[in-house]
Structure 1
């Protein structure tokens, strides 16, 4: 205590408490470090794996790119600058370029990654037997006398389809002695026979087949596929009376 107690010199009480006298009153808790020897108070950083909090001269700092994530199937990396998250891809094993021949991966409206549409194929078989009233065969080259047609539809709503057909025509003839006749597809003669005997040949026929590419069909589109049965080069009263049509279609949307 100092001073005389007068207005000009009042009493002054002063107290000097050393830091060591108050250190016992301080304690550390979660996130706080306290050194009882030096009296320094600081932040306590967790040593657990994945913690990116650091101490900088101006305070505590969390790098914006340092947050880590847990990855599962198809992903690698932790999200740290040294380990970015990326797709767990394989090695392109083909001679062609992945840039030009690689397929597309897109994000669906449900947030899932989706690949390109699945390949779709279709196989259909059609057949019909038609009879005629003993039609005398023309002496000219084979010409179409009846046409068979069906409609096919691309089963894929995403991809164009390659249309291929296997078609068969089987024309039944009657050939009196010395008669001859030919049959075929459209204007293409595929079978000719002449009766060199002395009696009538009945139920003469030969089943011809063609396999053709019909080109590409747009996604979900339909097209009529048809072919004609032909007859000609008739002689000696040859005639036909029946035809069997068979059509098989192959549609490949790859």
Structure 2
């Protein structure tokens, strides 16, 4: 007796006129779907194996199965619909791209253009905006007739201005202007000097025969300071005097400190 096992088919009685024929019997094809592909058929000529994509029916899904294959749907003719800031329909001849203007400057984009960034909400953002702020302080103080020191660069008063960089991203440049104006009383054959720090800014000499009162002029210095991102900087102003002779006195001091703070 001959018994056929799995995958084997036995025919015939074993006689010369009806010999035993052993042939392979195709086993059933086992198929399994995935989350994206549905399989069907037995893999035979009569029932060939086929696969079809499984498309998520959730609203907003732009993927569709067209006559020529998978396409992105949603626009005219199954292409992408674009809005503000984008152009193109997603086709080979018109790919989706950022809508830009022609560069109007003599320098190149590569050398001078800023960046564009995506924030936490998925919104496009440009470079930080330019910030310009101003800080200032000033004073006007009268004195009883006070002798001008005979030495050099003697500090009479110290003033200051606190400058804050409101830009937390970039260093700021502060254009600082300081001014002083000292009123002197100069008897005959007297002299007096006033300055900013160790820099003499006013120098008066009375060569006449009578007293000169309210002798003064306004003087100014300007310079640059750098303030770190989000930081503060205190700018001092030391008002100095010296070379007082012949009974010279001062009676008034006017001063100011101004700053234009720029971050670009």
Structure-1 residue corresponding to 2:232: 222
Structure-1 residue corresponding to 2:263: 253
What is the TM-score when the length of structure 1 is the normalising length?
0.70
Does residue 107 in structure 1 map to residue 118 in structure 2? yes
Does residue 83 in structure 1 map to residue 83 in structure 2? no
Structure-1 residue corresponding to 2:66: 53
Does residue 62 in structure 1 map to residue 70 in structure 2? yes
Distance 1:156 1:67 in 2: 47
**Segments of 4+ moved more than 6 angstroms:** none
Match of 1:152 among 157, 160, 163: 163
Alignment: residue pair count: 198
Task: Check the 8 A contact 1:170/1:206 in 2, yes or no.
Answer: yes
1:38-49 pair list within 5 angstroms: none
Distance 2:130 2:166 in 1: 10
Distance 2:201 2:70 in 1: 84
In the TM superposition, residue 222 of structure 1 has moved relative to its aligned partner by 0.7
What is the TM-score when the length of structure 2 is the normalising length?
0.68
Structure-2 residue corresponding to 1:203: 214
Distance 1:175 1:190 in 2: 17
Match of 1:212 among 223, 230, 239: 223
Task: Check the 8 A contact 2:169/2:229 in 1, yes or no.
Answer: yes
1:168 aligns to what SS in structure 2? Answer: strand
Distance 1:90 1:146 in 2: 57
Runs of 5+ consecutive residues of structure 2 not aligned to the other structure: 1-63
Structure-2 residue corresponding to 1:138: 149
Structure-1 residue corresponding to 2:17: none
Moved more, 74-83 or 140-149: 140-149
CA-based RMSD of the aligned residues comes to 2.4
Runs of 5+ consecutive residues of structure 1 not aligned to the other structure: 1-50, 56-60
1:241 aligns to what SS in structure 2? Answer: strand
Structure-1 residue corresponding to 2:38: none
